[in-house]
Amino acid sequence: MPNKNYEQQLKWIDAELSRLWKMRGPFPCLGAVLSGLKISEGNLIAWELDKLIRDDIKEEVTKNPWDFVELLFNGDASFLSKNFKISISDTQKAT
């Protein structure tokens, strides 16, 4: 069996893992928590919140994503893109 050099493939894998790790943002568990609660598109919501917080789209934007989660759970999704149709049940809120 010939000895193969996988250096290029390993560099690509390392670069992709680094890129994905950075995409997790400063709140890496937020998407997992939302998804774990069976909230539709939980990871995408977390990603959008990360962009919102990083970009300071609004002057009154908080730096705490959990403040936005609280707003979501109280029925306010006005800060998200219009593409999101958020529906959080009483069971999800209680959990």
Q: Which residue has the higher pLDDT, 27 or 78?
A: 78
Residue 5 has pLDDT above 70, yes or no: yes
Please write the tens of the pLDDT for every residue from 33-86: 999 999 988 888 988 888 888 776 555 556 788 888 999 999 999 989 888 888
What is the reported pLDDT for 2? 61
* CA gap 89, 8 in Å, rounded: 48
pTM above 0.85, yes or no: no
What is the reported pLDDT for 3? 67
Measured in whole angstroms, the distance separating CA 43 from the mean position of its chain's CA atoms is: 4
Centre a 10 Å sphere on the Cβ of residue 54 and count the other Cβ atoms it contains.
12
Task: Give the model's confidence band at 31: pLDDT under 50 very low, under 70 low, under 90 confident, else very high.
Answer: confident
For CA atoms 55, 61, 62, 64, the dihedral sign is: negative
- How far CA 4 is from CA of 13, 20, 62, 82, in Å, comes to 17, 27, 51, 50
User: Which residue in the block uniquely carries the two structure tokens 């997790």?
Assistant: 24
